[in-house]
Structures are given as C-alpha cells and as structure tokens.
Structure 1
Amino acid sequence: MPKNRILATIAIVASVLPWAWAQSGTPGPAVATAPAASPTPPGESAEAEKVLDAAIAKVSALRAVSANILQSVTMLGQRFEVKGRYLKAPKNRVYLLLEVFGLPDARGKMLQVCDGETLWDYQQVFETKIYHKFQKVDQILDKLKSPELDAAVRDQVITQLGLAGPEVLLVGLRKAIKFDQRDAGTLDGRPVDIIRGTWLRPEGLAGPNLTPQQQLAPLPSFVPSLVTVYLGHEDGWPYKVVLVGRQPSILMEDTRPIGPDGRRLGSIKLIQKPLVTRMELIYSDVTLNPSLKDTDFAFQAPTGVLVEDGTEAVLDNLEKAIQSKIAQKKAEGAGAEGAGAEPLLNQAIDVPKAKSEPSGAEPH
C-alpha cells in the first residue's frame, strides 16, 4: 500500500541518516564480524579506521554547520530521492528537514527544529500530520550527562530527540562497517580521504535459526553491504557516502527452473536480474562554522492542531533509569548475590509519539 511504502522510505532514510532514527524507537542489534573473502593487511585497515576516527573528532567539534542534503535510493525496483537541509548552531540549536520525491503514490516530510529550549518534531505522510514537542531541552540534556546513565541509553535518547548530527552518521558507520581500504582523491575539486569497507553482519539481519553455513554466506544483493565514504581531508566532513549491495555471481543467483535431469532449463538470458540496492548520500553547499540567526531555528505549530508534549515523560523515564542504575550499584557494592538483586534491564527509554492530525497547515 502507498502508506506502507512511504513508511518504508522513512526507514530507509533513517538507515543512512542515523540522527533521524527518532522514528525507530529501539537501539540496533549488536554486530558480529562476518569473515572476509580475503584478508586485509592490518596496516591498511588500521589506517582507514584512523582516518575515520579523526573525522569523527573534527565533525563533533564543529560549533555550527549549514548544508543541503540529497539522498538518492534505488531499492527493490523503486527509485526515489530524499532532499533536505541541515543546520547546527551553538546552544543546542538544530534544524533538519527531509522530503521524499520520486514516488508517484507516496509523499512524506519530516522536520525537526530546536531553538535550544523547545524541540519540535513534525511529520507528514499524505494528509496525516503529526506534531510533537519537547520543552526543557536543557534539563533533558543535563540528565543525559549523568554518569549513572548507560551510554547506550544516552545515545538512543539523543538520537530519538533529533539532537545528534552527522557525527552520529560517522560513529554508526564506525561500529557497523569494517573499513579496510584508504585512498587519497578529490571530490568536486576538494581533497578527500576515500575509505571503503564491508558491513559487519548484524545478528538477526538474515533471520533466526541459521545454520553455520548460512551465517557465513554473503549478504543478499538488496542489503547495501559495501560502503564508500568521502571525507574532507582537512575538515573530516562526510561529503559523500555510498552504500551498495554486492553483485552476486550468475551461479549463486540462477533463477531458472531445474529439469528432470537436474540441469537448468532455458537460456542464461532468462535468469532474473538481482535487485541490487544503492544508496548515495551527498552533502552540498556545506559551510562550516557559519553565522546563523535565531530565526533559522524558529518554529510554531499552526493554531488548532493537536500537539502532544512529551517533556515530562522523557524526564521521568530518564530519572527512573538513573535511579535504577544507582540502586544496582549500591546492591553490587554491598555484595548482593545475583539471585537476591534485581538486575537493571537493558531497555530503551520510551520517547512518546504524537497522535496524528488529518489536516492542518503545513510548516516550512
């Protein structure tokens, strides 16, 4: 159905724009290393990861950024684009706009704006419009800085609230991709470091109850498992990220029927072409540390629409997580036995979602 398609589209965007993971609600699974087809020299792998680590540090240190976003996607026979705009300024000011283009029976828009005090989250799928806000952003961030809060919970909430930036894209790639190649090059006349790698196989990605042989098999072509990142040589900015599926061999993907003699029937031309996914993310008109105005981060929901405020729910859930961790540490310090102490469950913090509005003015 069209609505299912647009929801899947938003999920695709989130896969390459990790700071938009606010719609997913749960942390990603742990990853386990899949064996490489051929070993990579340790020095080359370490060099690629060193370049990426340096880029993460540089991008995280930026006080302000403005950039246009273009994501081109070819997946499961569909082609579409996601266009948008990203702004970041001091005092937790963030602006992120994403719009889907190219799907004739589906359209969608996501806008997250934070002026440092209130975070607005607007989503549109067809005529359904959703408004959500979080106030007391400074208090939420103070709780997120608590040393008693698990790092995984902290990262999840920051990402869900839309307060993270492209540095999270790089951190996510660092965790999920084994980068083992590094080259120097240029992109639009700019010196860049080009690093390449392969997606580490996440647990459960290919389904449960797999045999050891199935676990070692290559990921299907619709999974974008080959990654290339173009990082600014001086500034570390991820100007371009490309994820593609691995092109299978004819023998692996022979879809022709098998005859009574055990041989494939028909010409090789009858073999169905595999659906190879390709995602390309490009940042253009990137300005580092620009002068941005307060009006760039201003937003107000139209009069009369339903707006759900999730502020107190987030603050309350964070406080409960902190207190649970404190209680656990006290029990461990007192030498409590495992059977007598309640372990802290590794659960995601629930960031409440807004109810939908069938109509209303559309923000820009």
Structure 2
Amino acid sequence: MHLWQIRHIPNRPQTLLSLTLAAALSVAMVVTVGYPTGFVAGQTEDDAAPAGNSPASQLDPAEFFKQVRQELQTHQSVKADLSQSVSIGDQQFKITGQYLSSGNSAEGMKLMLNYSVVPDQGVTGQILEVCDGKELWTVLTLPDLKRVTLRNVLQIQKAAAAASKKSIPDSTLNAELGLGGLNALLASLERTVDFDVIKEEASEGGPRTIIQGKWKSEILQRFPKGKDNSLPAFVPDLVRLYVNSENLFPERLLYLKRQPESKKLRPLVNLEFRNVELDTPVDDDAFKFDIPDVVPEDVTKIYLDRINGVTETAPPAK
C-alpha cells in the first residue's frame, strides 16, 4: 500500500502521522524532504515532452525503465541519504533519513533504513528497518507508541517463488512482499505504471534522463472518479522518475497531481537520494538488530495471505 492509496486521511495530526508511517512501512521507503529542482509545481505535462532529437528521445521509456531496474539489481551495495516531502491537501510532512542495502534478491538482500517523519503540525515519528536477508525487523516509534514487527523473508520468498509460476514475476513478488527498499519501489512502479515519455536534462550532478508515466488501467479502476472524471485528491495523476544518465541510478521520484481547470502540476510526493555511494564495502554489523523491550508482532502471515490471494477482512464496525 502506498501513501496515496489510503482511502480516508483524518485531520488529527497524530492519527495522520500513524497512517503515514504505516503506509511507508509497506514499501519501506516511499516517503521523504524534497527541494525544488527541475519539474515542480506550476509546470505542465508538456514540460516532460521529449526534447527534439536528443539521444533520450530515441529510447523507449518502458524499456529504459527496465534497464534502470536491472542495473540497480547488479549493485552489491547502495548507500545514500534520502529526503522527501509529502503534501496532500493541508497535510504536510518532511522525512529525512539514511538508506543502506547490500547483496541482491538472489543472495538474500540486507537492508537498513532509518528515518524520521516530521509533520508541519503534530508529533514526530521514527522508523527503523533492519533486514539480515532472513528476517526483516521494523520499529515504529511515536511519543505514546512503540511497535515492533517481524517478517520472515525466507518464508515470503518461498511463497513468492511458488506464486511466480502463476504468471506473477518472481522478482516483483520477492521485492514487494519479501523486502522493502529501492528495489521494492521500482518493482511496484513496473507493476502499476506505463512509462510513455522520456527526455534528458542537465543538472549540477551531471546529465539525467527523465521518464514519465501514467497508472495502468487496472490500477485506475481501483479509485472512484469525480464528476469530471478526476482522481481523488490523494491519488497522483503522473509519476516522474529522474535517472542519472551515467550510472542509471534513480536519483529522484515525483508523484504529480493535475490542478483543477489547468494543465499545471504540483508534487504530492517528492523523493530524492543524495550522496549516493554504489558498491562500497559494507560492514555486516550494520544489519544486526537488537530486539527492544517490546513484544514483537510477527506479520509474516499477512504477506503470505497477500501472495496467495487471501482477502483481508475489515474489523467489525463499533
């Protein structure tokens, strides 16, 4: 579940924070402090149109995205600072943290993600995720709440491998349901977005290739439409990915919303990776987890049920 898939976001800041953190946990990192560079609020969809005869304009956007995802999976380690801004209605969040991964899905990926969520109003929350390739631990900390959850990655990957025989890509299931991290995010984008626009831009860090896409039809069908056929306020209309043209690392991700009665766009979510280090030595101690003085909740079955198509039942109304 992504942040924009929450069907109702209450106006109580602490409850909203809890929902935001819960949404972040499911992808493990789709939430972070953005700053305006490139395409931001006030620009239009035409700003992402291919730039004439540039090299990027000759590429197929969907094929380029596959190259990006495949290249990411070749790196033995990724270390970066992450930052993100989230703006939905009058709710604003800033999130900053550190991301570290080592290995790959075939070997058993190790992951450490540590970040804080700061709303414009309300309380600050902390999230720590640590995976040693076998178990994924998550610690959610609020002023009046500390929750520790556990996922058995090996069980989930085994179930995903069986599900892949039902025409569900094994790599997608492993990433989305077994582990979090950047690989999971790209797996989700591949499953839900049709990338159809590509262009290049210059930046301080070097040339970047930008691809833009829309939700696939089966994804759009999940959301109610307004009288003008518009999506709900919390659902973005476009997804835009900024890729380092030299090493194909996805440096920035924007989820954009059309403004009423105009072609202008504004970002709902702006995710950015900075100070990226690829394939540097990583100490395994970074992925060791000391269980805090809180009874952990094993949520493995939730993911197994999701793989096997078991419908989640809502709790009875009080």
**Could you state the TM-score of these two structures normalised by the residue count of structure 2?**
0.71
Deviations 1:225-274 (A, max 9, x none): 12221112132211011122102217x9xxxxxxxxxxxxxxxxxxxxx9
Match 2:68 to one of 55, 72, 77: 55
Q: Aligned with 1:187: secondary structure?
A: coil
Q: Aligned with 2:14: secondary structure?
A: helix
Q: Aligned with 2:60: secondary structure?
A: helix
Quickly say closer, same or farther: Cα 1:277–1:234, change in 2 above 3 A: closer
User: Which residue in 2 is equivalent to 1:327?
Assistant: none
Match 1:285 to one of 275, 283, 291: 275
Match 1:235 to one of 237, 247, 252: 247
Quickly say closer, same or farther: Cα 1:77–1:148, change in 2 above 3 A: closer
Match 1:294 to one of 284, 300, 310: 284
Partners of 1:19 and 1:159 within 8 A in 2: no
Partners of 2:160 and 2:173 within 8 A in 1: no
Match 1:69 to one of 70, 73, 82: 82
Partners of 1:221 and 1:277 within 8 A in 2: no
Deviation at 1:224, TM superposition (A): 1.8
Indicate whether 1:191 and 2:207 are aligned: yes
Partners of 2:146 and 2:294 within 8 A in 1: no
Indicate whether 1:125 and 2:136 are aligned: no
Identical columns (%): 24
User: Which residue in 1 is equivalent to 2:14?
Assistant: 3
In structure 1, what is the Cα distance between the partners aligned to 2:194 and 2:161? Answer: 30
Quickly say closer, same or farther: Cα 1:349–1:87, change in 2 above 3 A: farther
Deviation at 1:283, TM superposition (A): 0.4
Match 1:116 to one of 103, 125, 133: 133
Partners of 1:44 and 1:180 within 8 A in 2: no
RMSD of aligned Cα (Å):
3.8
Deviation at 1:123, TM superposition (A): 1.2
Partners of 2:239 and 2:254 within 8 A in 1: yes
User: Which residue in 1 is equivalent to 2:224?
Assistant: 206
Indicate whether 1:177 and 2:193 are aligned: yes
User: Which residue in 2 is equivalent to 1:18?
Assistant: 27
User: Which residue in 1 is equivalent to 2:6?
Assistant: none
Quickly say closer, same or farther: Cα 1:195–1:158, change in 2 above 3 A: closer
Amino acid aligned to 2:114? L
In structure 2, what is the Cα distance between the partners aligned to 1:160 and 1:148? Answer: 12
Match 2:309 to one of 346, 349, 353: 346
In structure 1, what is the Cα distance between the partners aligned to 2:136 and 2:23? Answer: 23
For structure 1, list consecutive stretches of 5 or more residues without a partner in the other structure.
Answer: 22-35, 253-273, 322-344, 351-364
Deviation at 1:280, TM superposition (A): 0.7
Quickly say closer, same or farther: Cα 1:157–1:231, change in 2 above 3 A: closer
Quickly say closer, same or farther: Cα 1:246–1:275, change in 2 above 3 A: closer
In structure 2, what is the Cα distance between the partners aligned to 1:9 and 1:308? Answer: 19
For structure 2, list consecutive stretches of 5 or more residues without a partner in the other structure.
Answer: 1-11, 31-44, 51-55, 314-318
Indicate whether 1:141 and 2:141 are aligned: no
Partners of 1:223 and 1:277 within 8 A in 2: no
Deviation at 1:118, TM superposition (A): 3.3
Please say which structure displays the higher CA radius of gyration: 1
Quickly say closer, same or farther: Cα 1:106–1:153, change in 2 above 3 A: farther
Amino acid aligned to 1:10? L
Indicate whether 1:305 and 2:294 are aligned: yes
